């Protein structure tokens, strides 16, 4: 065998064993056989080491106690754990480097989930109603729930994530109502930019930046997100960000994702164009893209019959769109043109209207948000993974379809685009820098043959869309009294502080409490997406009542901190797979598969979320330095109301002294008013801040 310094065999006889017992090697000459055995042993040893390190890292990443420990007060075990994570995590990881090492989301116990549910609703019900629900819960836990749990655990063994595939299918793709307003969400521009470039120049730079980011994703050059620079988040959702379209179906939609696409679809003034982003084996430069986009602006042609309002079908009910697509877009020019849109990297809209933030006229910000959330109901392709919108005055934004991923993925793209745009810059006249190195290819006008019958379907969808968008009451509030900088001095989590303010606001308006949804992420697990934080807790109610009843400041402050601590604990539970709603949802799906009744699940999942909230992440990466570019703080984004008589509230803690709130409700509901909610929220935030003043 091989001896190290003539005394020691580092393979402990394995090389000799391979030499003697491996067919083909054992018949070769001694020197050749020994060489082949050594190479084979080294290869197997390297693979074994790689697998072992991956397995050890997976075990390490299953430890979540660090989330529950205060910053600066980590236990000795957690400090040692951080050291091991750094050791096994490697350096300069690629985007997907950690995917095989992420733990799988485990199924919580029935008892824990049911008890957590009961605790979350007890203070929202009368005593008699609670006893009724408690009885249903007990019957479920000790009856059919056990069977459903066994099936769900069985699924968790073979599925990469026991929630995500069903969540995508049943919450998003099987929905037959319009996705405009009800599902899609929007993102805004950096609102404090005072001098904006020419529309087509801004569009060219942003399109180029987005395509560059796509190339980084394809090469896995985008750094994986790491909490505290150490703990990785799942990167699975990035895969379908580009080249993806939602295709309507009769019973369910489906997502179609292409590996690559060399063009984008552009909508302007009622017409669709194909714009190639590659020419002669290279991507076009921003100045070359600007030339192409300017040709679209200068094109004086009129829309074909039905073309201007075509996208209304993506805004209306899903079944009519599915039938129309099969009947009118399955052959000929219509099929070719529809393929161009659906197979595009993304859709860009050169809008003919200006929108902006104006401190002198706050209503402009509301109109800007509505233009991104729904537009006119026919000028955004709502089925596309995302649509970039470029307004005539150079302001930008996006509308994103929700099924393929959650908002943090788009927020990260938006950060990359903002950073790259600064690098690309503009000349003194607001045009892209540089000169074209070639004659850019002309935009290709898409051709349509839309008959009267199809036009009637389009008009019906447009009527549905207009009815929906006209009912949206959207108010965007730029809160500048204080931000996270001051809140942190209170030694309270900024998110918990805002959630308490939302509860106080709702109570001041409605004089009662409601079931409240706050979105959290489960990306600590493989293919994790979201979980619900039930943020209206008993402690929250105690705090709100104390403020409403003008109890002593010290008592209110004590109750606030207690409620905030409970909220933070619930948020951490949701992040670590110990939430309530995704587990109940999956048990409900199992019950439907088995054809069994579960009254408790039906009751629990039918309760409306009168207040649906979400925090938009900010500065997930180090690409954009806001200290250097303070005018680049992002205005965040929002979504439509979840219920007919409730509110949707999205917020972004933009910087140390600014928070944006995006508040939506329905005009048709007499009890809701987004502007009134915003004004009351502002007062609630200030009143809570006053509690900390001595």
Tell me the catalytic residues. Answer: 402
The answer to whether 513 and 503 have CB atoms below 8 angstroms apart is yes
Residue with tokens 């918990």: 496
CA–CA separation, 356 and 634 (whole Å): 13
By DSSP bridging, strand 647-655 and strand 611-615 are parallel
Strand pairing category for 254-257 and 244-247: antiparallel
CA angle 612, 615, 618 (to 5 degrees): 160
Indicate left, alpha or beta for 647 from its phi (over 0: left) and psi (-120 to 50: alpha): beta
Task: Give the DSSP per-residue string, 224-281.
Answer: PPEETTTEEPP-GGGGGSSSEEEEP-SS--EEEE-S--SEEEEEETTEEEEEESBSSS
Q: Tokens standing for 23?
A: 């067919």
- In 3D, which of 490, 510, 518 has the Cα closest to residue 685? 490
Q: Based on the number of CB atoms within 10 Å of its own CB, is 452 exposed (0-12), middle (13-18) or buried (19 or more)?
A: exposed
Helices vs. strands in the chain: H and E counts, helices first: 22, 18
Phi, psi for 76 (deg, rounded to 5): -60, -40
Judge contact between 346 and 210, C-beta under 8 A: yes
| CA dist 123 → 192, 539, 643 (Å) | 43, 10, 21
Single out the residue of 469, 425, 420, 386 nearest to residue 187, CA to CA: 386
Query: Of 646, 291, 333, 632, which Cα lies nearest the Cα of 443?
Result: 291
Q: Can you point out the beta strands (E) in 59-191? A: 185-188
Q: Max Cα separation, the chain? A: 93
- Of 206, 317, 319, the residue nearest 252 (C-alpha): 319
How far apart are alpha carbons 673 and 363 in whole angstroms?
A: 15
Q: How far apart are CA 11 and CA 17, in angstroms?
A: 10
Cα torsion angle, 416, 419, 421, 424, sign: negative
* Euclidean distance between CA atoms 289 and 299, whole angstroms: 16
Encoded tokens for 521: 């992420």
**Cα end-to-end span (Å), the chain:** 80
Task: Work out the number of other CB atoms within 10 angstroms of the CB of residue 687.
Answer: 14
HEC profile of 100-116: HHCCCCCCCCHHHHHHH
Q: Report the DSSP beta bridge partners of residue 226.
A: 232
Report CA-CA distances (Å) from 402 to 168, 340, 386: 9, 21, 9
């Amino acid at each position: 065998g091989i001896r190290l310094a003539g005394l020691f065999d580092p393979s402990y006889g394995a090389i000799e064993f391979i030499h003697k017992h491996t067919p083909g090697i054992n018949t070769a000459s001694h020197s050749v056989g020994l060489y082949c055995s050594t190479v084979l042993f080294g290869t197997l040893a390297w693979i074994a080491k790689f697998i072992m390190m991956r397995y050890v890292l997976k075990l390490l990443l299953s430890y979540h106690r660090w989330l529950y420990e205060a910053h600066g007060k980590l236990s000795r075990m957690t400090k040692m754990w951080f050291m091991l994570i750094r050791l096994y995590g490697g350096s300069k990881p690629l985007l997907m480097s950690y995917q095989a090492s992420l733990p799988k989301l485990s199924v919580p116990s029935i008892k824990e989930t049911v008890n957590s549910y009961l605790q979350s609703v007890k203070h929202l019900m009368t005593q008699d109603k609670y006893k009724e629900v408690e009885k249903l819960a007990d019957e479920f836990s000790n009856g059919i729930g056990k069977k459903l749990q066994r099936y769900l655990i069985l699924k968790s063994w073979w599925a990469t994530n026991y929630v995500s595939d069903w969540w995508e299918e049943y919450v998003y793709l099987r929905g037959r109502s319009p996705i405009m307003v009800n599902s899609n969400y929007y993102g805004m521009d950096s609102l404090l930019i005072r001098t904006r470039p020419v529309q087509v120049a801004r569009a060219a730079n942003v399109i180029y930046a987005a395509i560059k980011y796509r190339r980084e994703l394809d090469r896995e050059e985008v750094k994986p997100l790491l909490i505290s620079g150490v703990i990785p988040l799942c990167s699975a959702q990035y895969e379908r960000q580009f080249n993806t379209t939602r295709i309507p179906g009769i019973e369910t939609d489906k997502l179609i994702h292409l590996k690559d696409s060399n063009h984008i679809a552009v909508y302007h003034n009622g017409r669709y164009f194909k714009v190639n982003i590659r020419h002669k084996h290279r991507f076009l430069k921003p100045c070359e893209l600007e030339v192409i986009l300017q040709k679209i602006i200068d094109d004086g042609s009129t829309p074909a019959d039905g073309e201007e309002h075509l996208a209304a079908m993506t805004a209306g009910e899903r079944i009519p769109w599915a039938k129309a697509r099969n009947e009118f877009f399955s052959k000929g020019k219509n099929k070719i043109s529809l393929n161009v849109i659906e197979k595009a990297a993304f859709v860009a809209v050169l809008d003919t209207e200006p929108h902006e933030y104006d401190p002198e006229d706050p209503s402009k910000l509301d109109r800007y948000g509505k233009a991104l959330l729904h537009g006119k109901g026919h000028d955004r392709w709502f089925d596309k993974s995302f649509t970039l919108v470029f307004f005539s005055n150079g302001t930008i934004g996006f509308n994103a379809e929700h099924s393929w991923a959650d908002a943090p993925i788009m927020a990260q793209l938006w950060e990359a685009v903002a950073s790259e745009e600064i690098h690309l810059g503009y000349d003194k006249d607001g045009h892209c820098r540089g000169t074209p190195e070639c004659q850019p290819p002309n935009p290709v006008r898409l051709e349509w043959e839309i008959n009267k019958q199809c036009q009637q379907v389009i008009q019906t969808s447009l009527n549905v869309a207009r009815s929906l968008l006209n009912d949206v009451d959207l108010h965007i509030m730029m809160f500048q009294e204080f931000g996270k900088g001051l809140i942190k001095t209170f030694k309270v989590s900024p998110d918990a502080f805002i959630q308490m303010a939302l509860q106080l606001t709702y109570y001041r308006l409605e004089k009662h409490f409601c079931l409240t949804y706050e979105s959290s992420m489960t990306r600590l697990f493989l293919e994790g997406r979201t979980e619900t934080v039930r943020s209206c807790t008993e402690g929250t109610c105690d705090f709100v009542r104390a403020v409403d009843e003008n109890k002593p400041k010290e008592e209110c402050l004590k109750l606030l901190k207690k409620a905030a601590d409970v909220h933070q604990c619930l948020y951490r539970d949701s992040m670590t797979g110990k939430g309530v709603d995704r587990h109940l949802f999956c048990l409900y799906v199992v019950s439907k598969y088995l054809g069994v009744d579960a009254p408790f699940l039906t009751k629990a999942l039918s309760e409306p979320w009168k207040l649906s909230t979400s925090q938009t992440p900010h500065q997930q990466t180090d690409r954009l330095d806001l200290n250097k570019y303070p005018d680049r703080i992002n205005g965040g984004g929002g979504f439509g109301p979840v219920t007919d008589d409730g509110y949707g509230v999205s917020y972004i803690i933009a910087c140390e002294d600014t928070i944006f709130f995006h508040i939506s409700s329905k005009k048709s509901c007499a009890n809701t008013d987004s502007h009134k909610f915003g004004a009351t929220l502002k007062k609630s935030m200030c009143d809570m801040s006053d509690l900390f003043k001595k």
